[in-house]
Structure 1
Amino acid sequence: MNRPLVFQTDFGRNDGAVSAMYGVALSVNPALHIYDLTHDIPQFSIWDASYRLYQTIRYWPEETIFVSVVDPGVGTDRKSIVIKTNLNHLVITPDNGTITHILNEIGIKKAWIIDEEKNRLPHSGVSYTFHGRDIFAYTGARIAAGIIKPEDVGVEIQIDQLVQLSIPEVLQVNGSIIGNIDILDIRFGNLWTNIDYQLLKGLNVEFGDPFEVTIENDAQKVYKSKMNFVRTFAETRLGDPLLFVNSLDKIGVAINQGSFANTYGIKSGAKWKICLQLLKYDS
């Protein structure tokens, strides 16, 4: 039985790269069901690729195969890998940190190094610049079609030997919660942090409570203001800033019907810090 095959890249849709990956997969088996996670990862952003996999993967059926190609090291000695998550999904990707958020938030059972000579698209020439087509799409399609198993691609690698990006920890300091801005909700300009709602809940924070929110980029203050923690955007006036719980049960920052990211020039990543200070008013 064929398994779903999901592609993610930073290729965009303006040329034939994604189409070539589709073509390779369907040449392996025309009955494969292929889907797109996104092809709009910012160029070379391994961090964004890692987060988008984590954001999406748990909502797909077990045994779904994800092919993620954000590969600034293509053609070098970086490894190509297949990993199996604790939720029984497979990810095929360069070993460059793309599995970081999955490893930290979901867990990985096993990993294998792809033998790129044995698992390369036949008659693909000598180019080392399009492993998305020649290695990853081809290998993913063969696994999805049941032609090979994950363990057939090459030798197993220990989980602690996989390349990981550095993920800042959430800290509690003098009554404040300090985290980082993991990713942007691109279309609406909301900020998604790594601060879990359960942390606020454990501090007896309630919807409606006021916070002072400070955002810094590499220790340079970018934003500081007060806003309320709300259940829905409709509880605030148009244009007001707010804190909310996003679809991953993490704390988000937004402007009601506006783009917080664009308004204040805020981006995401390990250098973007956010501090939440609960304000207590005397009755």
Structure 2
Amino acid sequence: MKIRFLLFFFALSFYSYSQNNVLVFQSDFGIKDGAVSAMKGVAMGVSTDIKIFDLTHEIPSYNIWEAAYRLSQTAQYYPAGTVFVSVCDPGVGTSRHSVVLLTKSGHYFVTPDNGTLTLIAEQLGIQEIREIDEVKNRRANSNESYTFHGRDVYAYTGARLASKTITFEEIGAKLPNEVVKIEYQKPLYNNGVVKGGIPILDIQYGNIWTNIDKKTFSNLNLKVGDFVSVQIFNGTKKVYHKKVQLVNTFGQVAVGTEVCYFNSLLNFALAVNQGNFSEKNKIYSGASWSITISK
């Protein structure tokens, strides 16, 4: 009976980490030229059975932080075994490592280890990391190309992994369970004040999305309809200080009114009803931006 249980547990663990033919691409390439299509072509050249999806290719150029955030925003909704290829690589050609991270949730991330994995490592946990062996896992006849690892290394390796052409162990040498991290303000409560970061904008509408979750916010004992004192900083410079009403929906206030609410991720956010909070107040996002909230 004990042997059967161990075999069942092993099989379950293997299933949880087994690739599922799903390959998701993210980059800062945009779609004006053929770069994204070339990566997909390389993947299809490995296997036409792969199911390919786009996370986004509109990461602002060289913005590693936003690449990190978009992965953490979406990866959790894909099934275990999904392979993500994320290419925001301003350091291409330098000594940064090319890696595949297997999370404790059973997801795979193929990317340069340049800070892109900051939030995923925290959110989904690190099961194992391997460095891509570019001798074995590189598109044939691409050795003279030095500036498009997204096509020649990451898309190729990601496709081979997603299609089970190679195993995770065949990626390359095992690395310590550590990734390059971007420092940022984490949500916390202390002495009547909640503090957090502004990792991203709801870019279509200019809303400000923080990383302050409902549980942390609840320490303030505020309710819908109350006014909240909000201060926003870029580094050490204060750029905003107002009292803003907490609402459930924008329709509770007049058009043009600034409000705070909880977004679709159930994190604290700021908006202008039918307006653009970011443009109006010249407030943006990234690891240097922080926010404090009090009664």
Aligned-pair Cα RMSD in Å: 1.4
Tell me which moved more, 229-238 or 19-28.
229-238
Deviation per CA, 1:229-257: give whole Å up to 9, x if none: 11122222211111111122211111111
- What does residue 194 of structure 1 align with? 211
Matches of 2:263 and 2:168 in 1, distance apart? 34
Q: Does the Cα contact within 8 Å between 2:225 and 2:245 map onto a contact in 1?
A: yes
The residue number in structure 1 matching 2:199 is 182
> Unaligned stretches of 5+ in structure 1?
279-283
Name the structure 1 match of 2:77: 59
Which has the larger displacement, 121-130 or 15-24?
121-130
Contiguous gaps of at least 5 residues in structure 2: 1-18
Worse-matched range after superposition: 92-101 or 246-255: 246-255
Deviations 1:20-43 (A, max 9, x none): 001100111122111100000011
CA distance in 1, matches of 2:69, 2:134: 26
Q: How much does 1:176 deviate? A: 1.7
CA distance in 2, matches of 1:57, 1:82: 15
Query: What percentage of aligned pairs have identical amino acids?
Result: 48
Superposition pairs for residues 98-177 of structure 1, below 5 Å?
A: 98-160=116-178, 162-177=179-194
Residue among 210, 223, 231 paired with 2:240: 223
Which of structure 1's runs of 4+ aligned residues deviate more than 6 A?
none
CA distance in 2, matches of 1:261, 1:97: 25
Which segment drifts farther, 227-236 or 201-210? 201-210
Deviation (angstroms), 1:105: 2.2
Greater helix share, structure number? 2
Check the 8 A contact 2:245/2:259 in 1, yes or no.
yes
Question: How far 1:195 moved relative to its partner?
Answer: 0.9
**CA shift in 2, pair 1:171/1:61, >3 Å:** closer
Contact conserved, 2:189 with 2:219, CA < 8 A, in 1?
no
Compute the displacement of 1:55 (Å): 0.2
The TM-score normalised by the length of structure 1 is: 0.94
CA distance in 1, matches of 2:106, 2:274: 38
Instruction: Tell me the equivalent position of 1:41.
Output: 59
TM-score by length of 2: 0.90
2:266 matched to 1:249? yes
Between the two proteins, the alignment pairs up a number of residues equal to: 277
Select which of 223, 227, 241 maps to 1:206: 223
**In structure 1, the residue corresponding to 2:68 is in which secondary structure?**
helix
The residue type paired with residue 35 of structure 1 is F
Structure 1 letter corresponding to 2:291:
I
Pair 1:19-2:37 in alignment: yes
